[in-house]
Structure 1
């Protein structure tokens, strides 16, 4: 057991600081305005809208097409209204998109609310058409403008307002306005907690009280501590184990216990039950004093330090590596860096919803440009970090109907209390911060420049290439992932010289990964593409991958076992520095 915190301290990153990053200390006015704007660049947004408008103005064919569509929509809507808004799905001009439940209630089937709902859906469809496939407009700008228009329309939906929502009006009449009184009180409480934490007695973030009692309860010890992470070794639950340990590495933007929730859906507990010795990286929640720590600090004090400790303390020669989300990206960096030096201590690599090529990295990537990143760097330079709530807001916008507007209607208009959070929801609210330099490094080098996929990413001054990775790879994508689209995760096939087993599971970025055996309505596709086999596009892969019912965890455990040595004696546990879940996970 070791405590490297005193040795590593709060060392600044050894990476060279770009001129743009270095200049943030001399831009106090920009930093002030960046904080006021929440890190959003108005220049980037206005530039995108201006680009779209100019291209639309110079495309008469597109204008004519939109005019014809507007006329068709207007005519269809008037005919629907003239018929008295018949309660017949076939008579409606347009149907909501799949998953849109805003107008499902019976009150929306009667006039005038049926007319409002249909008018809005037609306007929403027109906005989609007006902002997509504009001739000459760059594809990224095209997608970004469509996304922005959809967010604007979502905010204007008649379901969001008291006088245009029949369900809210009915409840208000039944309760004589008591629902609005409760909603107003809830709104004040939420507003004050966000804007005046001292007034609400919440000067410090309160860590999740469930940690160590209801979640993160797997038995283990903290066996290593650096300034940035605690390494947890879990107690074995079988009489024999595979000789190669398994290192789990979550993203640094989340608490580690997403992989050790309640016992019934804990990935840690499942893996130990399958005869694996499991280690977990638990990241520190940094503060302003850590602002100068960068990506290389996270690499050295995280997975590299963990790998050194595991191999030396247990006297093993190889370790299975598994990274989730950004933890998977960092694991791939480590795998390429080790391969460059001829270090063969990694046995296999598993990437869970983790991207290595950011050219098509989902909706968040649509708004990462130089102007936006510069504004975000200014904001982070002023406060020293990116707050977890700020990052959470960005992710919430991607699913604004479900995460913002529906909650607003339920809480503030209907006056209904939030349901008690389940373990996954409680984890999601347990946010962490990111050091300013590290997050700027990540956004600039991965999202903006795509250095890792291009072979330009440098570790200790030397460029690394994922082509040097020749280890067996198991990668998992999820069907409805807004953070790491599965087609982006799939790009690992073309970046490594590896046999890649790819699993595509239903669910989203979190729920698709936490897919324990016995979970209802779970299925996945699985296919292995050998390094020597012809390349498959994502569409080709879908045609050959076999769909299976149940959890992909079982297939992964079988894959790990097939790439492990036969089971033998249980590996000894160190006395440890503290009991799991450790202290870093409790840092607010």
Structure 2
């Protein structure tokens, strides 16, 4: 009896604590809503797109009735199929999840009649709604993209996997634990709202298990140069001799560089050092308001240009090779075109990873970039001086909403589990702010107006640039399933750049296709020495190679790097003194600091 009373008292105390926390969090949530300014999902813009779509739909009632009739027939077929299964008959499903849909992987979704019916009914309705908006005619293409995107967001949110009463795994967990999972889930939800100060900041990984410089970004090196925008890291050699020509990595600044140095087993940085390259890597600052006026030109001059100057001081070498990744690749292309205009030939070769040069097709990012939303963003940044990190994180998460939003809602809040430690998701949550001047110019000139490919379209440091004047050899790596930098926007580099281009297509996506060490023996890549006009023709003639693209890149780059007879270059032994140990202090500044 005493144990029962004690248990009841503990439960009551726990509920009181949850109630008090909930009250504080709800208050913070509503305060956040009232203070909220810029939103990447602009309700006015989205509402206009749906009104336009609705008007177009009802202008053709016959087509609407045809779609309704088709949905009714498919649901009748599902009822018949379910009844046949109830009678013991083995029947094929009316509809199945697509290959990449992992929401319904639990056996109950196929073996249990009720849950199989719920699943198929949802999939039929989702397919019908998505097809309806995709087939509508007579509306602006941009509006159509928005309607399609936000219809998918709505349908994903309504998935039966996201509700306790229609998710078999959650029901089982609730019965097994007596509802303890739901209480734990509520605690996780409150913790995430507290972490976001009223904004839901979903925990994707156990961040307490990682620390930059301790168990991620641990390749030995030293910071040998810094300015307002970046620190330059020189990595310690690991081979008896090194290639004569140094190598510079230019990572993106919308995330931190250590995606290329997560763990020793999957670090492209460590792997490059182990092949004998004298490697330098830019670590970008996490900017605050005082850097609001830093422009795209400043990122070029204080980034790659300053790094090239510093590398010459550190090594005595007047020529280097350079690698750019994502927006760092776009900056690298811009820098190379600028250097060509200036007659600066200090870069001998370039490697470009997941880099777009013709942004006619930018995928779903286009949904967030129109005149209205960019104007709203500019108004917001006039006050803040930068765009907060969580805005871009929201965009990228929404582009893979089931994997990066709803799977964590189910795991954290319905199943009541703590997020698992995962280095890549830790990096993904460690986003950066973006200065107002640079971001506004970049989104308009590069994304919205697609001027990078136009001769003279972009002017950097008062110099019009033309990427066709880039004559150096270039290794171009795109990835087949990249939703951030679609490979169709990378392939035009084969004709737009003025020098020889080796184009390679990796399997998987924006990160997994890049961070693919040979030892993992994962994925594959395609190579085709010919450069037909269309990417489809290129792919049709490409040869598939199993495993990582890294060895192919090393084989190509080594021939551009001089002899491997140079004595190892120790950071600090050149004309640049050591400032601090790698990975430096810039990378450790968090977005909420």
TM-score range, shorter chain: 0.7 to 0.9
State the alpha-carbon separation in 1 of the partners of residues 487 and 114 from structure 2: 42
SS in 2 for 1:498: coil
State the alpha-carbon separation in 1 of the partners of residues 90 and 498 from structure 2: 53
Shift of 1:286: 0.7
Shift of 1:106: 3.1
Bigger Cα displacement from structure 2, 304-313 vs 368-377:
304-313
SS in 2 for 1:454: coil
In 2 relative to 1, CA 350–188 (structure 1 residues): closer, same or farther, beyond 3 Å? Answer: same
Which residue of 2 is the match for residue 440 of structure 1? 440
CA contact (8 A) 1:474 1:500 kept: yes
CA contact (8 A) 2:296 2:460 kept: no
CA contact (8 A) 2:522 2:548 kept: no
Bigger Cα displacement from structure 2, 37-46 vs 339-348:
37-46
Shift of 1:186: 0.9
Matches within 5 A, 1:413-428: 413-421=414-422, 423-428=423-428
SS in 1 for 2:223: strand
State the alpha-carbon separation in 1 of the partners of residues 191 and 486 from structure 2: 35
Shift of 1:539: 1.0
Shift of 1:558: 0.6
- Say what the alpha-carbon RMSD is for the aligned residues: 2.4
Q: Is 1:553 paired with 2:533?
A: no
Report the TM-score, using the length of structure 2 for normalisation: 0.87
In 2 relative to 1, CA 196–95 (structure 1 residues): closer, same or farther, beyond 3 Å? Answer: closer
Moved over 6 A (4+): 86-89
State the alpha-carbon separation in 1 of the partners of residues 198 and 146 from structure 2: 33
CA contact (8 A) 2:210 2:426 kept: no
Query: Residues 74-98 of structure 1, C-alpha deviation per residue, up to 9 Å, x if partnerless?
Result: 3223323444567888432211111
State the alpha-carbon separation in 2 of the partners of residues 546 and 487 from structure 1: 18
Bigger Cα displacement from structure 2, 511-520 vs 485-494:
485-494
Matches within 5 A, 1:279-358: 279-358=280-359
Bigger Cα displacement from structure 2, 115-124 vs 136-145:
136-145
State the alpha-carbon separation in 2 of the partners of residues 580 and 275 from structure 1: 19
Which residue of 1 is the match for residue 490 of structure 2? 489
Matches within 5 A, 1:204-219: 209-219=210-220
Which residue of 1 is the match for residue 584 of structure 2? 582
Matches within 5 A, 1:107-186: 107-108=108-109, 109-186=111-188
State the alpha-carbon separation in 1 of the partners of residues 556 and 262 from structure 2: 23
State the alpha-carbon separation in 2 of the partners of residues 37 and 165 from structure 1: 35
CA contact (8 A) 1:499 1:528 kept: no
Query: Residues 184-213 of structure 1, C-alpha deviation per residue, up to 9 Å, x if partnerless?
Result: 11111111111259xx9xxxxx99952222
Report the TM-score, using the length of structure 1 for normalisation: 0.88
Structure 1: gaps of 5 or more residues: 1-31, 201-205
Which residue of 2 is the match for residue 18 of structure 1? none
CA contact (8 A) 2:216 2:261 kept: yes
CA contact (8 A) 1:503 1:526 kept: yes
In 2 relative to 1, CA 256–498 (structure 1 residues): closer, same or farther, beyond 3 Å? Answer: same
Structure 2: gaps of 5 or more residues: 1-32, 202-206
Shift of 1:302: 0.6
Which residue of 2 is the match for residue 567 of structure 1? 564
CA contact (8 A) 1:222 1:233 kept: yes
CA contact (8 A) 2:261 2:270 kept: yes
Shift of 1:233: 1.1
CA contact (8 A) 2:452 2:458 kept: yes
CA contact (8 A) 1:249 1:324 kept: yes
In 2 relative to 1, CA 89–366 (structure 1 residues): closer, same or farther, beyond 3 Å? Answer: farther
SS in 1 for 2:196: helix
CA contact (8 A) 1:246 1:279 kept: yes
Report the number of matched residues.
546
Which residue of 1 is the match for residue 221 of structure 2? 220
Which residue of 2 is the match for residue 400 of structure 1? 401
SS in 1 for 2:453: helix
In 2 relative to 1, CA 260–129 (structure 1 residues): closer, same or farther, beyond 3 Å? Answer: same
Shift of 1:33: 8.2
CA contact (8 A) 1:505 1:525 kept: yes
SS in 2 for 1:195: coil
SS in 2 for 1:378: helix
Which residue of 2 is the match for residue 35 of structure 1? 36
Query: Residues 367-409 of structure 1, C-alpha deviation per residue, up to 9 Å, x if partnerless?
Result: 3110111122222333222222221111111111111111111
In 2 relative to 1, CA 195–88 (structure 1 residues): closer, same or farther, beyond 3 Å? Answer: farther
Shift of 1:442: 1.3
Which residue of 2 is the match for residue 480 of structure 1? 481
Query: Residues 327-358 of structure 1, C-alpha deviation per residue, up to 9 Å, x if partnerless?
Result: 00100000111111221111111111111222
State the alpha-carbon separation in 1 of the partners of residues 355 and 543 from structure 2: 22
Which residue of 2 is the match for residue 26 of structure 1? none
In 2 relative to 1, CA 37–311 (structure 1 residues): closer, same or farther, beyond 3 Å? Answer: closer
In 2 relative to 1, CA 208–466 (structure 1 residues): closer, same or farther, beyond 3 Å? Answer: farther
CA contact (8 A) 1:233 1:278 kept: yes
State the alpha-carbon separation in 2 of the partners of residues 350 and 289 from structure 1: 33
Shift of 1:289: 2.0
